[in-house]
Chains A and B, each alone.
Chain A
Amino acid sequence: MGVIGKLQQGLKYIILCLAALVILFPPYIIVVNAFKTKEKFFEASTMSLPDSFFYFDNFVQAFKQASIPLAFGNTATIIIVTLFFNILLGSAFCYAISRFQFRLQGILVGLFMFATIIPQITTQVVNYKTIASLGLTNNLMGPVLLYIGADIIQIYIYLQFIKNIPYELDESAMIEGASLVRIFRSIIFPLLAPATYTIIILKTISIYNDFFVPYLYLPRAQHVVVSTSLMRFFGNNSGDWQLISAAILIIMIPTAVMYLFLQRYIFSGVTSGAVK
């Protein structure tokens, strides 16, 4: 690496560290308050440091009060069922519309795009009625049904990848007598892995943090999910912020770990290897 290369590398680090500071500056308050005793939280400024970073009572209490194990269980159920169908349906859909020079591709993608524009907030009355008439309110499968549908991001990402998989791969498999479904299952789908993992990450986090759907469709205590468990700390015009801070940190852990774990698969270079 030459001097210029080293300079470039250094510049990159400087920019990244600046970005990291900007990113970490706001959440500071969550971290310090999660470790404060109730007394300290009231007496001292909200910005101040806690007495000790080894004070875990807030975490223990938040864990209990928010029914964290139950909430994780419910959220996991919703996410796993949703992802299974969402990935299956989404990837198959994109395979079908992109591989066969299908005339309607533009129109179909347009339909999904247009659906994104419809302001969600005003359609909720109708969707609530639909879910209620299916008997899926107070049922984990209600939110699943709302989440399962493919969204425009997923479709674009899959189409982007399928476009870059050479059609010769399909053709040679056809010559060997493989059916199209088999081609999809054993050639295309594995090659879509980076896309699939990207979608898993984005979809999981959006469901995990979604507040609106579970609190409208799952108001019962036994159906508490991670995002609605935080409501337990909100009273009338009041909130127990040292507990909320602790709870927020607890519920961030699984998604952060998942991201760290899955990003290895995104960047494992599956496509570049297979193209040859």
Chain B
Amino acid sequence: MKKSLMLLLSVIVMLTMLSACSGNTNEKNEPAGDDGEIKGDIVFLTNRTDMIGNVYDEYKKRFEEKYPGVNLEFEAILDYDATLKVRMSSGDFPDVVFLPTLSNAEFPEYFAPLNDIEFSGDIYFKELRAHEGQMYGISSGGSTVGIVYNKEAFAKAGITDVPKTYEEFLAACEKLKQSGIVPLASNFKDKWPLDVWVHDIPSLIGEASDHQNKRADTDTPYTMDNEYGKTWSIVRELYEKGYLEPDINSTNWEQSKKDIATGKFGMYLLGNWVINQVIENGADPDNVGFFPFPADNSGQAKAPLNPDFFYAVNKNGNVPAAKAFIHWMIEESGYDEFAGFIPTLKDREPKLAQLAEFNSYDVKYFEPAQPSDVAIDIQNAAQLDQAATVQEFVLSDDPAAVLEKVNGRWAKARSDLGIKE
């Protein structure tokens, strides 16, 4: 009896001790303090789980060589946005993170301004994650969106010149289809590949990148004849003409990369980041081409220039070392080349050969507008998932009715929030 009671007691004691001890060992080392000295521990919360144990080991070594007083650790998570939010709400999150999807006005509550990081040249996307003149995020790299295609598949279908207008594009699709190649891999089912039809192609059609913000000014942001209706009608047309996968509700992302590489599929409409992945999936680099998507018949090559995730610094963390790390990631790490990005530093040439080909078409770039909080607030209140709306628009018998329904939700959310014209 006594023994058992002792056991029970020891369980309680052990549990308490476990928590107590670990509480101590887990305390962060002294932050570097206000003198701005670069030392101490920093932790970087990354989404690149695949770089743990290889590339990041090398980054750690190189960074700590440059800053001997710093101990750099990596924490890797998937489902980044939701997981980071869970951790932020507990008040305890790593020193360097990627910005979560919150409105810019909320950033000062958690993050340190980064204006004083001195880069060797001008950088892209300075204004995008800024609030009241303070910059809270620095893009880890940039990318553009266009048609990634298999050159052999094009040759096999008898396409000699890349299409410059939408008409030519449809003709190319028809030729591919005739020679037994699936013209465009949409990866419709996975939803995220449809984001280009929500954000990028409307910019090209409307020749302005602030279309998402302008939705805040109206009760009917989605109409058949504005940039959304026109863009989504393109997807619908491609679907109806049989230019997408045979069953768009059963697409397979991993498989599609192999199919582009082998020429079973002809094209992707995605960011340049996908090029390296197609090559990793067995394509000969010389066989992968990249050209701007001709969204209309103007003949003018147009493309968006998009940021990737934004580095941000926890304002209660080790700020000086965190800033040094971001500086190092942008200037010295070589991450942009590894990821196939357009470098954040404007005067650096991208290493990816396909981007040179892309730029040879004399592309007019559209840089994104700073997101408006009002439009995002309405979208959240209306519980609107635009990629899902694209799916509905394409599959529905009556696409105009889909837009009408979405507009109805939008107008209701707008009036609930008390937004006036």
Residues of chain A having any CB pair with chain B under 8 Å: 39, 42-43, 46, 65, 67, 85, 88-89, 124-125, 128-129, 132-139, 141, 145, 179, 181-182, 185, 215-216, 219-221, 231-239, 241
Contact = CB atoms under 8 A, between A and B. Distances in A.
Contact of B49 (A124, A234, A237): A234
Contact of B87 (A128, A133, A232, A237): A128
A79 to B, nearest CB: 16
A42 B53 contact: no
B4 interface: yes
7 contacts: A42-B261, A134-B22, A135-B27, A185-B4, A220-B74, A234-B50, A235-B51
A88 B47 CA distance: 39
Contacts of A237: 192, 253, 274, 277
A238 B280 contact: yes
Closest 7 CB pairs of A and B: A42-B282, A135-B23, A219-B75, A231-B49, A235-B50, A134-B19, A129-B90
A139 B48 CA distance: 22
B277 A135 contact: no
Contacts of A134: 19, 22-23
Q: Which of B45, B192, B280 has the most CB of A within 10 A?
A: B280
A216 B83 contact: yes
A260 B253 CA distance: 37
Contacts of B26: 135-139
A179 B4 CA distance: 11
B48 A135 contact: no
B50 A233 contact: yes
B160 interface: no
B337 interface: no
Contact of B4 (A125, A181, A219): A181
Contact of A179 (B1, B74, B83, B258): B1
A231 B262 CA distance: 27
Contact of A235 (B27, B48, B90, B253): B48
A120 B16 CA distance: 25
B254 A43 contact: no
Interface string B38-60: 00000001011111111000000
A83 to B, nearest CB: 14
B81 to A, nearest CB: 13
B273 interface: yes
Given A46-B258, A136-B23, A232-B53, 18 more contacts: A88-B11, A125-B86, A129-B89, A129-B90, A134-B23, A135-B24, A139-B25, A145-B19, A181-B4, A185-B4, A216-B86, A219-B76, A231-B49, A231-B52, A234-B78, A235-B49, A236-B50, A238-B50
A137 B53 contact: no
A234 B277 CA distance: 12
B22 A141 contact: yes
Contact of A135 (B19, B49, B53): B19
Contacts of B52: 221, 231-232
Contacts of A232: 49-50, 52-53
B416 interface: no
B255 interface: yes
Most chain A C-beta atoms within 10 Å of own C-beta, residue among B50, B83, B253, B281? B50
A129 B255 CA distance: 40
A231 B45 CA distance: 15
Contact of A125 (B45, B89, B253, B339): B89
Given A124-B86, A141-B18, A215-B77, A239 B23 contact: no
B78 A215 contact: yes
B22 A139 contact: yes
Contact of A65 (B53, B73, B192): B53
B257 interface: yes
B332 interface: no
B240 interface: no
Contacts of A89: 11
A92 to B, nearest CB: 8
A226 B71 CA distance: 26
A221 B53 contact: yes
Given A42-B282, A88-B11, A235-B48, A137 B92 contact: yes
A236 B254 contact: no
A178 B5 CA distance: 15
Interface string B58-75: 000000000000000111
Contacts of A124: 86
A136 B89 contact: no
Nearest to A84: B11
Given A88-B11, A137-B92, A241-B254, A128 B23 contact: no
A135 to B, nearest CB: 3
Interface string B1-26: 10011010001000100110011111
A42 B260 CA distance: 11
| Residue among A137, A215, A219 with most chain B CB within 10 A | A219
Interface in B259-306: 261-262, 273-274, 277, 280-282
Contacts of B253: 237
A67 B53 contact: yes
A191 to B, nearest CB: 17
B282 A43 contact: yes
A137 B28 CA distance: 12
Contacts of B53: 65, 67, 221, 232
